[in-house]
Structure 1
Amino acid sequence: MSQATDVAAEDRGQIESVSGPVVTAVDLDARMNDVVYVGDEGLMGEVIEIEGNVTTVQVYEETSGVGPGEPVVNTGEPLTVDLGPGMLDSIYDGVQRPLDVLEDKMGSPFLDRGVDAPGIDMEQTWEFKPAVEEGDTVEPSEIVGEVPETQTIDHKVMVPPDYEGGEVVAVESGEFTVEETVVELDNGEEIQMHQEWPVREARPVKEKQTPTEPLISGQRILDGLFPLAKGGTAAIPGPFGSGKTVTQQSLAKFADADIVVYIGCGERGNEMTEVIDDFPELPDPQTGNPLMERTTLIANTSNMPVAARESCVYTGITIGEFYRDMGYDVALMADSTSRWAEAMREISSRLEEMPGEEGYPAYLAARLSQFYERAGYFENINGSEGSISVIGAVSPPGGDFSEPVTQNTLRIVKTFWALDADLAERRHFPAINWDESYSLYKDQLDEWFEENVSEDWPERRQWAVDVLDEESELQEIVQLVGEDALPDDQRLTLEIARYIREGWLQQNAFIEVDQYCPPEKTFQMLGAIRKFDDEAFEALEAGVPIDEITSIDAAPKLNRIATTPDDEVEEHVEELKDDIETQLRELY
């Protein structure tokens, strides 16, 4: 049955031409961004251009077999998502159709066209616990009750932000479906657990604040050198095989966010299959429960229709904003924004728009800005505080960071984690290049690290940066004349930099104790290397040959601190520092 059958005749048009995912229709009364159903099969699409009597639609499904003369039906509504309990532990396509529901409808994992399903189960009942009483006055976005959505997350039921609010005249507790009224106001407004919201419109907030708390990732190079704030933006650019997806999956698993939204935007099907298979099996390091209990996955692989790829990032960030309004910290991973930009480029070329650099549309920078600007640390309308941290992977062709998507992303985000193919080839993971990466959040996060880890955090981090910078300069000389031609103090600097790189910056995801490194351990590990630096240079000044300094028994243990259990690392590091001091001072 076509979606068009229950729509008035005056809301109909007909197809004039079809060009891939772009369909032009005539005689269709529509507005920009209206959702329409195209053809006899009722394929879902969105109005993207109106010129006179001709309306251009991008279709979210494969258009083969669709021809001129077939109907186009306007719903009169923009593309929206269903918001309510049941979104966690769900896997959606780019327009929030639940893949498991579509598979049940089809009886096959290969989906037919024209099949639709709501984003949340409208028939499932949830236990609603009111947070208001009759006679209370409620405002837009105010929390009126809770639902235990998963074992770890309580879903806050809110007054929709576009309601007026008013006095509560009736409130119910018990088991309800998401479409049943749980709170009724004196002005006739009825509040359900289900809301709808247009994906291209940011949900309203009271104030955007400066973030001052880090999103702890458990990755030493990120937390130690290039931290990301809760509510911050980050880009992970890198060539094929350098570890973008693995880095994002590690962040999804270990970052101290309450909610994770993972958007697979145009990635290879085998990678997305791996994510879909693995995530339900992963234990949540924070609770021990399945990680999916606080995760929403949006799977839009490279063989899916290009228009749905363009919309999937908006679907994901709207879901994230809904949980932010409840007062949660949300981490959103977009893998990758390059595929999203390529979808925009394809649609733009079919619209015959004037191309910009490398064929991308002229509004590429504006679209990227609109997406990343929806991140932030916010004071919500209901008085709670929540954040959305957006981490976008970028896949520059050939690893060329000068291409338009990477460059435009760089102008927007404040954290840049540059992946390096050479490091990946040397099996140095995470393969993040410390010379090219940066974080503009360091200064505003230092106070948190000083209060919660150590007041020496900024100074110790800067020391590590200085050593790595000096090593980079010395490596140019080494390539010309060899390391043996350097003076002893510079050779010692290279040795200490090697311990920073191999013992501190490298992390082994296959060793359970090293998958996640708390900030305290990150600080203590660097402290042990710093102790070796101090004692080694004192020994060198006392006339001890460099070969004797670097061959002490304690030195190789610097590379093995990472495998020490977190609760034993402080004692282990103190013992190692004592050994370093004793063994080096015995030499002079």
Structure 2
Amino acid sequence: MSKGTIKKVAGPLVIAEGMRDANMFDVVRVSSQRLIGEIIEMHGDQASVQVYEETSGLGPGEPVESTGAPLSVELGPGLIGSIFDGIQRPLEEIMKVSGNNLQRGVEIPALDHKKKWHFTPLKKAGDSVTGGDIIGTVQETPIVVHKILVPHGLMGTIRSIKEGDYNIDETVAVVDTPNGSSQDLTLLQRWPVRVGRPYKQKLSPDMPLVTGQRVIDTLFPIAKGGVAAVPGPFGSGKTVVQHQLAKWAEADIVVYIGCGERGNEMTDVLNEFPELKDPKTGFSLMERTVLIANTSDMPVAAREASIYTGITIAEYFRDMGYSVALMADSTSRWAEALREMSGRLEEMPGEEGYPAYLGSRLAQFYERAGRVVTIGSEGREGALSVIGAVSPPGGDISEPVSQATLRIVKVFWSLDSDLAYKRHFPAVNWLTSYSLYVDTMEKWFNEHVDAHWMDLRARLMRLLQEEAELNEIVQLVGMDALSAPDRLKLEASRSIREDFLHQDAFHEVDTYTPLQKQFTMMQLVLDYYDKAVEALDQGASIEDLVKLPVREQIGRFKYVQEKNIQAEYEAVLKALSKQIDELLQKEDF
């Protein structure tokens, strides 16, 4: 164990000398208050330590002691429903000890080491096991079964395993290894946060993460195990979009990282998540959620570690075979922490003062997502999907963090403040957003929803793009200059925007739309357009076609319950045909 002394203090950065035996990324304890820090640079016997707690009052000559281990998280029963800070300190437990304000030097284990969990073995004595195998389960919450995994790198034969109530430090099984030694297995594992957990194989992103949000699932879908960015200015609805994804996305586990967000926003999340009802199970959403809260007034260095803490916990649940959705809100604040630490290290700045390695650090984070075959003899399939919010200053996505993120992610949901001011939510701009997963998932949509899914989607996108072009003409010369077919295109596009893309997060039916209903809604909007085009060719007036009463029914179709979809669709279609026929008869007459 390396021991040194403080030479210099610069905000959260402490320079310690006499640390020749320490290693990069070792966790250290600084001063007699035992503040937690991490070595991020070595020069001879001098170590640069980023301290994850407030450093005011520290001075030269105080002791610095290396623990000899990298920054790691505790993985085991007790993660679900917990609220941690950026370095996995349990905030609720700290509050019991130190009150509402985070005090320095508080040492509390991340998980409760005294609580007993009922362990049910799935293996028996004599069974061969290897790293990643499931030896048993713990019912962690009413809806999450925590699978106890053999640690990575261990293989052998189970000598003993027993059912019962244990805390996370007690031995539940003993494994005899090939070299003649034995290893005790507990419910607890530790894993360094900056190292991705291993897997056997990464699978192609060819199936969607269904979210029930129409603008996402239909126009800009994200793959299961995919990565997406949600950039948007203040007030454009980033947090509500992430809440909707946390609540409705086809994920077994949700990990939400509040990284450098305002304290009041994070308070809203912490208050709302326990009250959000999980639509799949009826329990609180917290029964399958891990929250990591690192607000903007917390020490800046811990913010840099928070996204690694979160993604390591997410990978752990992925290794159990679960589908995990990770929300990082926001990576811009994380990048600002990176910039501040880089400046204190006196590194050469890159664009806008961000470090030159900003792009590679972002890539290291996002590349840990994916749909994988896990290690171990069973070879389970698990998925980790990452959705990162980006908060560009002034909504300008030409700044470095947004641009570096766009080079990595394959889905870009561009939130637009103009749409938000018009009360159009989700405020995803359909002209500037994109998804590069569409082509790889075409086969899945055509097989699992309908063979015409991609054709209808393409027609919707074409109409929306033509609307943008026509709007430019309208602004120059007015609506009267447009031909009747062009006016009809504008009306069909308005129907797409208002009846299909606009979705009410707080309406009990409209908040979630299954894929089959999304397809039926696309059909309805395009049925109206196709029949109206035919009627126009046969002499119907554009004014009459715009004012058809059936359009009100098409607009209200989003509020139809799932069990009534087909019957209501046929009724609307019948009414549409009847009203257009009556219109044509009137014209003939």
Give the structure-2-normalised TM-score.
0.97
Q: Is 2:183 the counterpart of 1:189?
A: yes
Deviation per residue, 1:19-39 (Å, 9 max, x gap): 111110011231100000112
292, 295, 299: which is aligned to 2:289?
A: 295
2:478 and 2:90 mapped to 1: Cα distance? 59
Q: Is 2:161 the counterpart of 1:178?
A: no
Q: Is 2:471 the counterpart of 1:475?
A: yes
122, 132, 143: which is aligned to 2:113?
A: 122
1:11, distance to aligned residue in structure 2 (A): 2.3
2:11 and 2:529 mapped to 1: Cα distance? 62
Task: Give the aligned partner of residue 26 of structure 1.
Answer: 17
Task: Give the aligned partner of residue 360 of structure 1.
Answer: 354
Q: Is 2:566 the counterpart of 1:576?
A: no
1:75 and 1:33 mapped to 2: Cα distance? 11
Task: Give the aligned partner of residue 393 of structure 2.
Answer: 397
2:570 and 2:392 mapped to 1: Cα distance? 44
Task: Give the aligned partner of residue 16 of structure 1.
Answer: 7
Aligned residues: 577
2:39 and 2:173 mapped to 1: Cα distance? 35
Q: Secondary structure of 1:181's partner?
A: coil
1:443, distance to aligned residue in structure 2 (A): 1.5
82, 91, 107: which is aligned to 1:90?
A: 82
Range 566-575 or range 328-337, more displaced:
566-575
Deviation per residue, 1:385-412 (Å, 9 max, x gap): 1010000000111111111111111110
Task: Give the aligned partner of residue 66 of structure 1.
Answer: 58
Written as runs of structure 1 = structure 2, the 5 A alignment for 1:210-359 is: 210-359=204-353
1:216 and 1:489 mapped to 2: Cα distance? 35
Range 447-456 or range 147-156, more displaced:
447-456
1:162, distance to aligned residue in structure 2 (A): 3.0
- Matched letter for residue 14 of structure 1: T
2:280 and 2:566 mapped to 1: Cα distance? 22
List structure 1 segments (4+ residues) > 2 angstroms apart after TM superposition: none
Q: Is 2:147 the counterpart of 1:137?
A: no
1:566, distance to aligned residue in structure 2 (A): 2.0
1:562, distance to aligned residue in structure 2 (A): 1.2
Q: Is 2:373 the counterpart of 1:379?
A: yes
1:542, distance to aligned residue in structure 2 (A): 0.5
461, 465, 468: which is aligned to 1:465?
A: 461
Q: Is the 8 A contact 2:130 2:153 kept in 1?
A: no
Task: Give the aligned partner of residue 157 of structure 2.
Answer: 167
RMSD over aligned Cα, in angstroms?
0.9
1:555, distance to aligned residue in structure 2 (A): 1.3
198, 203, 209: which is aligned to 1:204?
A: 198
1:190, distance to aligned residue in structure 2 (A): 1.2
Task: Give the aligned partner of residue 7 of structure 1.
Answer: none
1:453, distance to aligned residue in structure 2 (A): 1.4
2:46 and 2:117 mapped to 1: Cα distance? 45
Task: Give the aligned partner of residue 525 of structure 2.
Answer: 529
- Matched letter for residue 12 of structure 2: P
2:493 and 2:261 mapped to 1: Cα distance? 36
- Matched letter for residue 273 of structure 1: T
485, 495, 500: which is aligned to 1:504?
A: 500
Task: Give the aligned partner of residue 147 of structure 1.
Answer: 138
- Matched letter for residue 548 of structure 2: I
Runs of 5+ unmatched residues, structure 1: 1-9
Give the structure-1-normalised TM-score.
0.97
Task: Give the aligned partner of residue 538 of structure 1.
Answer: 534
Deviation per residue, 1:412-431 (Å, 9 max, x gap): 00100000010001010000
Q: Is the 8 A contact 2:500 2:521 kept in 1?
A: yes
Runs of 5+ unmatched residues, structure 2: 585-589
1:570, distance to aligned residue in structure 2 (A): 2.2
2:548 and 2:524 mapped to 1: Cα distance? 15
1:557, distance to aligned residue in structure 2 (A): 2.1
Task: Give the aligned partner of residue 587 of structure 2.
Answer: none
1:64 and 1:365 mapped to 2: Cα distance? 32
Deviation per residue, 1:47-78 (Å, 9 max, x gap): 00001121100010111111111111100000
- Matched letter for residue 506 of structure 1: H
1:122 and 1:211 mapped to 2: Cα distance? 38
Deviation per residue, 1:302-355 (Å, 9 max, x gap): 111100000000000000000011000000000000000000000000111000
33, 38, 49: which is aligned to 1:41?
A: 33
Identity over aligned pairs, percent: 55
1:447, distance to aligned residue in structure 2 (A): 1.8
1:124, distance to aligned residue in structure 2 (A): 0.7
Q: Secondary structure of 2:334's partner?
A: helix
2:197 and 2:153 mapped to 1: Cα distance? 10
Deviation per residue, 1:437-461 (Å, 9 max, x gap): 0011111212222222111110111
